[in-house]
Amino acid sequence: MSTHIVGTRIYLAVFTALLVLTGITVWAARHDFGALNNVVALGIAVAKAVLVVLFFMHVKYSSRLTKLVVAGAFVFLALLIVGTLHDYYSPHMTAGAHAPSISRE
Amino acid sequence: MSDVTRGGTAGPVHVPVRGKAHGHDHPALVHHFADLDQQREASSLGMWLFIAQEIMFFGGLFLLYAVYRNLYPHAFAEASSHLDWKLGALNTVVLIGSSLTMALGVHAAALGHRKAIAWWLIATIVLGAVFLGVKVVEYGEKFEHHLVPGPHFHYEGPDARPAQIFFSLYFSMTGLHALHMIVGIPILACMAWMGWRGRFGPEYHTPVELTGLYWHFVDIIWIFLFPLLYLLGAHQPHM
Amino acid sequence: MSDVNTAIDAARLRRARLNYLNVSYGVKSWLLTIDHKRIALLYLASVSIMFAVGGAFAVAIRLELVTPPGDLVQSETYNKLFTMHGVVMVFFFLIPAIPAVLGNFLIPLMIGARDLAFPRINLLSWYLYILGSAFGVYSIVNGGVDTGWTFYVPYSTLYSNSNVVTTGIAAFIIRFSSILTGLNFIVTIHKMRAPGLTWFRLPLFVWAHYATSIIMVLGTPVIAVTLLSVIVERTLHLGLFDPALGGDPVLFQHLFWFYSHPAVYIMILPAMGVISELVTAMARKRIFGYGVVAMSSMGIAIVGFLVWGHHMFVSGQSTYAGMIFSALSFIVAIPSAIKVFNWTATLYKGSVSMQTPMLYAMGFIGLFTIGGLTGLFLAAMGLDVHVHDTYFVVAHFHYIMVGGTIMGYLGGLHFWWPKMTGRMYPEWWARVAAAVVFIGFNLTFFPQFVLGYLGMPRRYHAYVDEFQVLNVMSSAGASILGFGYLLPAIYLIWSMRYGPVAVANPWGAKGLEWQTPSPPPPENFPVQPVVVEEAYDYAPEKGVVVV
């Protein structure tokens, strides 16, 4: 981690952006975008997280190793989620058959 | 005493140059590190690895959420509408604010401004306490409305059973998150105290940096929890 | 005049003999140590005790299985026996053993550092291990757990009447011991290497532990949160896996095996690292294909995260997902096979000395190969359907865990024993013990392949009469194996007091750890070493025999 000192103006800018994005996500939730609902909600959350990671947590100014560790963690998280979900969503062949049929939609 | 340096016939040896802290050992320098730079880099990497494992730790719960939400979208949306999104939004703003004060606290530590460090960190603690207070209110409301999973759970509607899974997830995820905040607050208090005592400056402010990383991570978890738990049912007519 | 000189010489000699063992005495100096070498010995003592506990359960299991009917213990008790055997052996022995004992001791020495990056966190790891073990022992004494070490739901959450919560807490606490150790290793290896020690000059033992640590840091938290979910469901009724509510038990299995498969690589990779060191030192030859072996450790760690569904072929998992997991499981065998090939190629035309570490290394290579190949049998879905939950699986993983990991552990313990204690173990007794272990092991577990193939289910305390002969062979083998493990316990402890004093480098091996006295001084190296040669810089690769 470098001794680079991030200026307060950047912090305030990021803070404002985070508030704005929070407002947008609340607004977006009240509208039905159909299939895009998840994409919009997660997309905004990811954008906020990226801002916090890059600026509040200084990753933008950090070493490649730090960036690799951060990216790696998210890659493995994605692996966990995607790897499991593909049991539930794979084409035909008894996909997700073990999930109980109680009020399944 | 055995001579441990190997024979030097194999050409120039590249020895990485490490900066010394002003030619004398800083009181915070631990014995097995060559200098403060190495110590800070190592500590930072260690903290990031800890955060990486925390991502996977919460990740397990996010997986549970992802699967169940996709199995029972209607039940989840309906159950979510029982959460007060306004309180959730308030908490989001509060936590983002605490991230700002935390970042400013780290900034102050890097500059060695004693009082500023303490005040910014105290502000962070206060905002964190507000967050937890709101959560107590919310949990209290859930108890009143019999929405706590278990023998006293009571929910109107055909989707009562998956709704109970939703609330189990709600309590597990926000509970684990709150636990992390509760752990963080005493650490912040320690940092504020140490900062007030003048322990931090441009040469050495690693503990505050690391605390900042932890706090921002806790904020990021909430950034995801808020839309996933509170905003699912928002575009549906309220129950 | 000569008196003064003698006094000065004596003082110099006393200072020179100062090492990490005698630099301070007393219980506090051990329990509050932050010296990685002492912590390694603390771990050695604790994992040995837990190994004995797990072994006791194994004895009970094999005793029951001598006769076809379930006549020694009731079925509920038998469930507890195999559960506790699994829980203790996996969580309290196999996962910590090599990293916490050998890794802790050797990694700073091998990279020329004074200690690990975070010595106090290292001590905390040990205390977490002790706390977890305390909960574990409490569970055992309080009546044990009967869910199988896999804690499958909904039995563990809703129906079992045994100590699921306390065992879950024990495992949860000890997971953090593992995570912190891995974190410590990664930072140490990145940030504290001696000047000149580039990544591709590192001993393969270090590469293996680096790869293992990545798995520890990224995989372990998932099982931690999963166990937490089970505990929470049992205590707070937050029904996350309850089928009556629409919960999905197979989802638990996904979460469980996402960690527990990489966990088996946590158990085997460090042993592979040990073997790389033993083979090069005992054959006095450079490792064949250093870069490939190093990268294969990383490959195993990463691809190992992609195959967990092969434990779930018959769980109701989608066949499509099963196919993908099956294919990936075949692929993950490749880096392991590369290692076996490279070790063998290293031995070829090497100057092989058949001392105890080499005996264990050779045993490892042979037994690991058998275990690994039978893993491929299991990775094939069509075959797995027939042998899943039979003794075939049991034999497979014991070949890897016991024939592999434990032999690697024992080989490493013997190889570095002089460095750790300053004493040599008795070579002939050690060779006898190695032979007894090898024979006992094969007699115990090879019949189990046949039993499984013939259809004997695992976790059953009764079986049909036709299986008795093989079971008796297996139980007989187990007693021989147990005796084989008892021998090192005795002579290693004996040697700490009565064994011949060891020199700094009794094997004439390469590696920074041999460039410092045996036992090492507290600060490891009096002068910071500078590395100028490649790893394993023995005779040239063509294998010129060194006389």
* Ordered alpha helix ranges (H), chain B: 36-71, 73-80, 85-111, 114-144, 160-196, 206-225
The 8-class DSSP code of residue C457 comes to: B
The answer as to whether C172 is a domain residue is: yes
ipTM for the whole complex: 0.91
Q: Do C229 and B149 touch (CB under 8 A)?
A: no
What distance in Å separates the CA atoms of residue B164 and residue B168, rounded to the nearest whole number? 6
> Could you tell me which of B30, B19, B16 has the C-alpha nearest to residue C531?
B16
Q: Same structural domain for residues A67 and A57?
A: no
Choose among A57, A77, A81: nearest Cβ to B216: A57
Angle at which helices B206-225 and B85-111 cross, to 10°: 160
- Beta-carbon pairs below 8 A across chains A and C: 61
**How far is it between the farthest Cα atoms of chain A?**
56
pLDDT in tens, C332-372: 999 999 999 999 999 998 889 999 999 999 999 999 999 99
Q: How many domains does chain C have?
A: 1
Lowest mean pLDDT among A85-89, B53-57, C288-292: A85-89
**Average pLDDT of the residues in C216-220:** 96
Q: Predicted confidence band at C2 (pLDDT cuts at 50, 70, 90)?
A: low
Q: Predicted confidence band at C238 (pLDDT cuts at 50, 70, 90)?
A: confident
Query: Is the pLDDT assigned to residue B90 strictly greater than 90?
Result: yes
Choose among A53, A63, A69: nearest Cβ to B49: A69
Q: Share the mean pLDDT of chain A.
A: 84
Phi, psi dihedrals of residue C501, rounded to the nearest 5° = -65, 135
Q: Same structural domain for residues A57 and A9?
A: yes
Torsion from C-alpha of A96, A101, A103, A105, nearest 10 degrees: 30
Q: Same structural domain for residues A81 and A104?
A: yes
Q: How many CB atoms lie within 10 A of CB B15?
A: 11
The answer as to whether B47 is a domain residue is: no
What distance in Å separates the CA atoms of residue B132 and residue C16, rounded to the nearest whole number? 58
Q: Same structural domain for residues A53 and A103?
A: no
Q: What is the pLDDT of residue C70?
A: 86
Query: Is the pLDDT assigned to residue A94 strictly greater than 70?
Result: no
What distance in Å separates the CA atoms of residue C234 and residue C229, rounded to the nearest whole number? 8
Query: Is the pLDDT assigned to residue B18 strictly greater than 50?
Result: no
Contact A76, C218 (CB under 8 A): yes
Q: Same structural domain for residues A73 and A50?
A: no
Q: What is the pLDDT of residue B11?
A: 32
**Average pLDDT of the residues in C167-175:** 96
Helix (H, G, I), strand (E, B) or coil at C501: strand
pLDDT in tens, C366-416: 999 999 999 999 999 999 999 999 999 999 999 999 999 999 999 999 999
Beta bridge partners of C501: C423
| Cβ partners under 8 Å of residue B213, min gap 6 | A57, B44, B47, B48, B51
Distance from CA of A28 to the nearest CA of C (A): 29
Q: Same structural domain for residues A1 and A52?
A: yes
- Of the three residues A62, A81, A96, the one that is the final residue of a domain is A62
Contact B191, B121 (CB under 8 A): yes
Distance from CA of B115 to the nearest CA of C (A): 30
Query: Is the pLDDT assigned to residue B239 strictly greater than 50?
Result: no
Residue with tokens 């009571």: B154
Q: Predicted confidence band at B213 (pLDDT cuts at 50, 70, 90)?
A: very high
pLDDT in tens, B119-160: 999 999 999 999 999 999 999 999 999 899 888 888 888 888
Q: What is the pLDDT of residue B34?
A: 85
Contact C155, C140 (CB under 8 A): no
pLDDT in tens, C294-332: 999 999 999 999 999 999 999 988 888 999 999 999 999
- Which of A9-14's residues contact partners 24+ apart within 8 Å by CB, and which partners? A10/A55, A11/A55, A11/A56, A11/B100, A11/B103, A11/B104, A11/B107, A12/B100, A14/A51, A14/A52, A14/A55, A14/A56, A14/B100
pLDDT in tens, A12-28: 999 999 999 999 999 99
Query: Is the pLDDT assigned to residue A104 strictly greater than 70?
Result: no
Q: What is the pLDDT of residue C9?
A: 64
The answer as to whether B97 is a domain residue is: yes
**Average pLDDT of the residues in B108-118:** 92
Q: How many domains does chain A have?
A: 2
Q: What percent of chain C has pLDDT over 90?
A: 88
The answer as to whether B35 is a domain residue is: no
Query: Is the pLDDT assigned to residue B238 strictly greater than 50?
Result: no
What distance in Å separates the CA atoms of residue C180 and residue C125, rounded to the nearest whole number? 6
Query: Is the pLDDT assigned to residue B20 strictly greater than 70?
Result: no
Q: How many domains does chain B have?
A: 1
**For A84, nearest residue in chain C (alpha carbons):** C254
Q: Same structural domain for residues A53 and A67?
A: no
Q: What is the pLDDT of residue A3?
A: 58
Partners for B (CB, 8 Å, 3+ pairs)? A, C
Q: Same structural domain for residues A21 and A42?
A: yes
The answer as to whether C523 is a domain residue is: no
For residue A104, the enclosing domain spans: 63-105
Choose among C186, C515, C533: nearest Cβ to B49: C186
> Could you tell me which of B148, A37, B122, B7 has the C-alpha nearest to residue C515?
B7
What distance in Å separates the CA atoms of residue C29 and residue C23, rounded to the nearest whole number? 9
Q: Predicted confidence band at A89 (pLDDT cuts at 50, 70, 90)?
A: confident
Query: Is the pLDDT assigned to residue B22 strictly greater than 50?
Result: no
Q: What angle do CA C219, C54, C256 make, to 5 degrees?
A: 25
Enumerate the residues of chain B whose CB falls inside 8 A of the CB of residue C195.
13-16
What the block records as the tokens of C501 is 């004093």
Q: What is the pLDDT of residue C415?
A: 97
Q: What is the pLDDT of residue C255?
A: 96
Contact C44, C79 (CB under 8 A): no
Q: Do B7 and C244 touch (CB under 8 A)?
A: no
What the block records as the tokens of B197 is 């005592």
Enumerate the residues of chain B whose CB falls inside 8 A of the CB of residue A1.
40-41, 44, 209
Q: Do B32 and C113 touch (CB under 8 A)?
A: yes
Q: Do C254 and A86 touch (CB under 8 A)?
A: no
Query: Is the pLDDT assigned to residue B82 strictly greater than 50?
Result: yes
What distance in Å separates the CA atoms of residue C328 and residue B175, rounded to the nearest whole number? 37
The answer as to whether C527 is a domain residue is: no
Distance from CA of C159 to the nearest CA of A (A): 18
Distance from CA of B12 to the nearest CA of C (A): 9
Q: Same structural domain for residues A39 and A67?
A: no
Contact A48, A16 (CB under 8 A): no
> Could you tell me which of B80, B100, B105, B99 has the C-alpha nearest to residue B170?
B80
Query: Is the pLDDT assigned to residue B180 strictly greater than 90?
Result: yes
Query: Is the pLDDT assigned to residue B108 strictly greater than 50?
Result: yes
B86 reaches C (C-beta below 8 A)? no
Contact B153, B164 (CB under 8 A): yes
Query: Is the pLDDT assigned to residue C545 strictly greater than 80?
Result: no
**Average pLDDT of the residues in B75-87:** 91
Choose among A25, A63, A84: nearest Cβ to B231: A25
Query: Is the pLDDT assigned to residue C54 strictly greater than 50?
Result: yes
Whether the full predicted model's pTM is greater than 0.90, yes or no, is: yes
The answer as to whether C277 is a domain residue is: yes
For residue B219, the enclosing domain spans: 63-230
For residue C280, the enclosing domain spans: 21-515
C205 or B74, greater pLDDT: C205
Q: Same structural domain for residues A105 and A74?
A: yes
- Highest mean pLDDT, choosing among A85-89, C61-65, C523-527: C61-65
Q: Same structural domain for residues A7 and A57?
A: yes
Q: What is the pLDDT of residue B6?
A: 35
Enumerate the residues of chain B whose CB falls inside 8 A of the CB of residue A26.
85, 89, 231, 234
- Which of C330-333's residues contact partners 24+ apart within 8 Å by CB, and which partners? C330/C376, C330/C379, C331/C303, C332/C300, C332/C303, C332/C304, C332/C306, C332/C307, C333/C372, C333/C375, C333/C376, C333/C379
B152 reaches C (C-beta below 8 A)? no
CATH number of the domain enclosing B218: 1.20.120.80
Enumerate the residues of chain B whose CB falls inside 8 A of the CB of residue C232.
172
Helix (H, G, I), strand (E, B) or coil at A105: coil
Q: Same structural domain for residues A45 and A83?
A: no
Q: What is the pLDDT of residue B234?
A: 66
Distance from CA of C502 to the nearest CA of B (A): 15
